[in-house]
Amino acid sequence: MIIYPDIELMDGKCVNVARGRHEEPFVFHVDPIKTALDFQEAGAEWLHVVDYDGVYEGGRHNAELICDIIKAVEIPVQVGGGIRTTASVEWWFEHGAARLVLGTAAVKDRNFVKAVCTHYPKQIVIAIDSRGGHVVVEGWQEETIYTPLEVAADFQESGAAAIIYTDIDRNEDLPESAFAGTTDLACSLSIPVISSGTVQSLDDIARLNNLPNIAGAVVGRALFRKTFSLEEAIAVASQKPTQAEFVRTL
């Protein structure tokens, strides 16, 4: 299982946006480029970088900084946030992004997203954010009628590289959410699933590593708060689960 260190950017700063409250971001006073290089040195295979200004406003707002990160590191970078047009997709690939993450557009303009998945096979990742069993878009501000499985299944044969699934209930510390949503979605799909919003401890990484069809985990807040190190996270994610461990997890 791959650990994707998550760098969330707003107004050029590394942030964490709790409960979708973009007007109250928690700012980490670190240099984004140095942070990216530190993640690379710690053994990261990928970086996950989100332009949060783009999430809420559309378009490119931290593009220069993200391009500097792409140039600074030698590992691939997947970029998300406000990418909703073919021109934007082309721009990011021309500027070095290895994969692009499409979320709101994947729900609101599925034909566009399927077209770019076909044109850029295995380079587009579909982001699905779920609260209370329904997909939400526009930075968690707008609830849709769709279930996560309905949206994910629609892209399963599209050429997308993976599904990033964010369990917002788990992310917002609702204990009853457990890993049920992530487990159900991953077990229902053949396309790889990357979990987001589920990791608060190394035990959470171990649990995800024991679930079927979980290809990775996006981890940000816990790394920035130094709950554990990236080296520790990668070590846990690299362990091979036994059949007995898999049964216990279920």
Q: Are 67 and 45 in contact (CB under 8 A)?
A: no
pLDDT band at 25 (very low <50, low <70, confident <90, very high): confident
Check residue 61 and give its pLDDT: 86
Give the catalytic positions in this structure.
8, 129
- CA 112/CA 118 separation, integer angstroms: 10
pLDDT band at 250 (very low <50, low <70, confident <90, very high): very low
Domains in the chain with CATH codes: 2-249 (3.20.20.70)
- CA 103/CA 142 separation, integer angstroms: 12
Check residue 226 and give its pLDDT: 96
Give the model confidence (pLDDT) of 56-110 as tens digits: 877 788 999 999 999 999 999 999 998 999 999 999 999 999 999 999 999 999 9
Check residue 244 and give its pLDDT: 41
Check residue 22 and give its pLDDT: 59
Alpha helix (H) residue ranges in the chain: 32-41, 52-57, 63-72, 86-94, 104-108, 110-119, 148-155, 168-171, 180-188, 202-209, 221-224, 230-237, 243-249
Q: 3-state class of 66 per DSSP?
A: helix
Give the model confidence (pLDDT) of 149-188 as tens digits: 999 999 999 999 999 999 887 666 555 456 888 999 999 9
Give the model confidence (pLDDT) of 184-242 as tens digits: 999 999 999 999 988 999 999 999 999 999 999 999 999 999 999 999 999 999 997 76
- pTM (2 decimals)? 0.91
Sequence-separated (6 or more) residues with CB below 8 Å from residue 59: 82, 88
Give the model confidence (pLDDT) of 32-54 as tens digits: 999 999 999 999 999 999 999 88
